[in-house]
A and B are shown apart, each in its own frame.
Chain A
């Protein structure tokens, strides 16, 4: 935590945005990627350097590499060329970015972030820029010379964007800053300017299978431990099948679910659900990561990491794939996976074995979101639920950016929440659903050295949580994103103390009445159920606890 309280104020911008000079300071940057991670992934220019150094040890022909890289991408991505060309700078996006609202740094306005790239595009890739390039200091054509300072500025601001796409919702042309940030990061990758918080998980994921590099036996230990814990809570036996051939469903979750808190309680929720409905499933130690930090580095890396999921589904001979609660994982699964690594013609169109519902919306990708799966079970009355077991929570729901704006998964988690808890209040309309505010730590920015910027970026989200806390006494923020679960607790502790963070399936696990379970006295966190909330059925047990 920063020693002094982060001050939030909106100051009028000063100076000329074309001046690329950036003051790098701790708290608002991510450290550079360790050379070993670049080497492991075969990326160019591995070396020891830090953003705080004055010499970044760029390759001698860095300028040519960047311009060639831009040229290539302008030809390969319509989005890139179009978004470079058609912005009218109307400013509708300006105050939609959580980083701008939290930092008051004018280059964090989405339009300005894109202009950092556009000014180079105009200078080197447009007729006006090439002709009038240096007239009036480039003012006429709105271009800038590509200098090393521009590279540093790109690094600073393209790693100060969480690719949440909120600005794009408001743009009259749908210009998506995430696309521009992704291109910016790809270009920076070409000259070896990467961050460790992105590349280390990517390297681990590539070699071992998940972000933390937990090896297969450790993976099994984690899941066995979770199975024991679920058994202790319910008095039932649990087993988690790993790499089991011939299962009907391959279940892929973000690795944080089996090593992070509060993700872990969500994992318990999944396990209880699967056991109760008798799902014929397996998890995989090879494809033990749903998340994909390649998305925060390059399209190529996204594809390399994502390839494991289909390969493993094919090897194990499952019929379809079920995916856990994660945000950017679903951006990849929903919008990229089938294109990159499909077609998945070796799988069947997903059908719920319990309700018979055909998930026609996933008939090509063959991958279903667990919230879609569970919402369907609840809708068909296949689960026995006691929402009173969540009476100690007054919950609200945070739409995670990617499921909201790259998918539209809005009602499925809400319908689950309404069935499993009795106290649920929405945050204000313009801070949820497609207008949801990012946690401020997505897209590979969730590292501790970047904490000040994360707290600033998370301020708009926290502000809305504070509103419902004061109005309705909300004490739980539910969400379906692993990065949210990892970073929102810190954020809320800072801005809105007294609000916890939980996954939707944690609350489901609490409410799920399992066949043959013992009287439950504790929730999935091991906390005794409050006696008054559960008086009707468990008063005596609560006293014993």
Chain B
């Protein structure tokens, strides 16, 4: 049901984009007002969410350690998975963010004949890594539309991405990888009963939205052959804050644009904020050094304790009888000094 609702929501936006291409006022709105509003929302919303997290203190030092601690000099410690230094933390975070280190550990449990078998499971790691890197590459490639002259690294990425020279215009590998990976991520949500049980509207919505963006983009590039010069003119005018609604661009382009705007608007209100959140996770971005360096809790709450003096008062007689040393007793009584060194 969640999947259906979210598919319908995305399709409705696709239709709105196509329909909007037919009337002039809608075209102007789609090509000027909406993109600015969407990206303002993204920018402000993203910052607001990150600031909210950053304002909440980290009262306790709670890294999850995934390897040997740094303790005795002759025991080799896991410098990345259980970092004790700042550089270790940087490495751990880099491995987490660039390579999805934790997801790489993934295994799959199954039961067979009353035995639990833990098998390897690389699908999720591989496809999510592929998806994120492909998406980054595609975003960077889009810079050529917004910048004149086009930076050398963008051209280099472009050549790399179209390395195999399949078809005209050359097929971008990142397009294939992105759609393939998204399809896998969607497919596993349907296939795995546990995931199907968990998945919310927003989980499907994000996937359908990204797929729709990718598909409209691919249709424009390889099939309807959008006029790339007009796109660039439009993009440059947007970037210069002097928007000119494109005349030569069809419904498909506006559809693509509307979907991207939807994603940008949706982003700060959704789980997609993991982009910012992953940097702040206190189980990953702290060094495991809580015994060698004191972590300060800004609100370290005062509590009532049971001080020694009160405790001794309650058990004084019994301690005396048992010959346990007391803190406050008659100095002459030496009942407590049965123990010697």
**Chain A residues near B (Cβ < 8 Å):** 8-10, 12-13, 17, 42, 74-82, 85-92, 94-96, 101, 106, 109, 111-112, 115, 126-128, 136, 139-140, 142, 165, 168-176, 179, 206-209, 215-217, 220-221, 239, 241-245, 247, 280, 282, 285-286, 299-300, 303-304, 307-308, 311-312, 315, 333-336, 338-340, 342-343, 357, 359-365, 367, 372, 375-376, 379, 404-412, 415, 428, 430-431, 433-435, 459-460, 463, 466
Contacts and interface: CB of A to CB of B under 8 A. Distances in A.
A412 B62 CA distance: 21
Nearest to B205: A140
A95 B124 CA distance: 14
B62 A379 contact: no
Contact of A362 (B105, B200, B291): B291
B251 interface: no
Which residue among B69, B78, B124 has the maximum number of chain A CB atoms within 10 Å of its CB?
B69
A77 B105 contact: no
A336 B60 contact: yes
A375 B62 CA distance: 25
A172 B283 contact: no
Contact of A339 (B60, B201, B203, B339): B60
Given A13-B193, A78-B282, A335 B53 contact: no
Interface in B113-161: 114-116, 118, 124, 128
B195 A89 contact: yes
Given A85-B53, A242-B339, A299-B59, 19 more contacts: A13-B193, A76-B56, A88-B203, A88-B271, A89-B195, A128-B269, A216-B318, A220-B323, A299-B301, A339-B61, A339-B294, A359-B71, A360-B292, A365-B292, A376-B72, A406-B64, A409-B71, A412-B75, A434-B81
B230 interface: no
B170 interface: no
Contact of A365 (B203, B291, B339): B291
B165 interface: no
Contacts of A221: 322
Interface stretch (B31-39, B173-181, B305-313): B305-313
Contacts of A85: 49, 53, 271, 273, 277
Contacts of B322: 216-217, 220-221
B327 A315 contact: yes
B283 to A, nearest CB: 4
B246 interface: no
B248 interface: no
Nearest to B84: A361
A285 B301 contact: no
Contacts, number: 323
Contacts of B56: 74-78, 80-82
A340 B222 CA distance: 62
B284 interface: yes
Contacts of A42: 304
B225 interface: no
B194 interface: yes
Interface in B78-93: 78, 81-82, 84
Contacts of A431: 118
A340 B321 CA distance: 35
B315 A215 contact: yes
- Secondary structure class of chain A's binding surface, majority of residues: helix
10 contacts: A76-B57, A77-B57, A92-B124, A175-B281, A242-B325, A308-B305, A339-B59, A367-B291, A411-B76, A430-B107
B269 A127 contact: yes
Contact of B198 (A91, A172, A338, A463): A91
Contacts of A209: 311
Interface in B162-213: 188, 192-195, 197-203
Contacts of B198: 17, 89, 91, 94, 106, 109, 111-112, 115
A10 B115 CA distance: 11
B192 A91 contact: yes
Given A173-B277, A239-B339, A142 B327 contact: no
Interface stretch (B21-29, B95-103, B253-261): B95-103
B305 A307 contact: yes
A286 B308 contact: yes
A111 to B, nearest CB: 6
Contacts of B107: 95-96, 170, 430
B308 A315 contact: yes
Contact of B111 (A10, A410, A411): A10
